[in-house]
Structure 1
Amino acid sequence: MAESLIDIEVVFATPERQLLLQVSVPSGTTLREAVRLSGIAEQFPEWDVGVCALGVFGRVIADAQTRPVEVGDRIEIYRPLLADPKEVRRLRAAKAAQARGGKS
């Protein structure tokens, strides 16, 4: 009996370029394996997408190496943050307070 395939999408974006691939993977494939099978890593050799966090439709999936794909999933590959958003806000507030002549 032939192995059933599931249609999914794999998405990755950098500030310069975005790519969405439509892929068919065998039923039971995990999210992490689906990303590997998609070949998207070869499109972005400067990024190690194999270790990036993964999500499905904007929701981070903690167990991407064990969670199987579902029909229609859009697997999103998340780049690491360059700066902690809380720290950036704290620094911005301190700078604004200093500009007003207040204490930081």
Structure 2
Amino acid sequence: MSTLQITVMYSPAPRVVHERVLALSAGVTVMEALQLSGLLVQCPEIDLSQPELFTVCIWGKKTTRNHVLRELDRIEICRPLTVDPKVARRERFQKQGTSRAGLFSKRRAGAKPGY
């Protein structure tokens, strides 16, 4: 039976990443790989029974827990967003003001507005 090299990743906080590289037998599923990685024990906050909180992805694309893995797959455990990205962008834009941000922030000397 052949072995597969699988990577399991989880980021509990910004700039903190847990990464496990595993050599598993062919035919292993996503859930089996997560259990064998030890991340579910090391990070007890991961509750995969609630799919609305934690999403499991392979290379950034959502997958099911019984998906059979292939060579060099990277499993990512995605935590829920704490801030809506649209709201965060709007707040950043309001902080820095319109003169320093956006498409028209850099103007050439003597150019018309917007160019």
Give TM-score, length-normalised by structure 1: 0.67
1:14 aligns with 2:4: no
Instruction: Kindly provide the CA deviation profile for residues 63-91 of structure 1, in whole angstroms up to 9, marking residues without a partner as x.
Output: 3223211111111111111122224345x
Query: How do 1:1-104 and structure 2 match up within 5 A?
Result: 3-15=1-13, 17-49=16-48, 51=51, 52-57=54-59, 59-61=60-62, 63-90=63-90, 92=91, 96=94
Aligned-partner SS, 1:42: helix
* In 1: Cα distance, 2:27 partner to 2:71 partner: 11
Offset at residue 53 of structure 1 (A): 1.1
Aligned residues: 93
| The structure with more radius of gyration | 2
Task: Provide structure 2 residue ranges, at least 5 long, that are not aligned to the other structure.
Answer: 99-115
> Greater helix share, 1 or 2?
1
Q: 1:47 to 1:65 in 2, by over 3 A?
A: closer
Offset at residue 24 of structure 1 (A): 2.0
Structure 1 runs of 4+ with >4 Å offset: none
Offset at residue 49 of structure 1 (A): 4.8
* In 1: Cα distance, 2:24 partner to 2:48 partner: 18
Give TM-score, length-normalised by structure 2: 0.62
| Aligned 8 A contact 1:49 1:77 in 2 | no
| Aligned 8 A contact 1:7 1:25 in 2 | yes
Q: Which has the higher contact order (CA 8 A, sep 6+)?
A: 1
Q: 2:55 is aligned with what amino acid? A: A
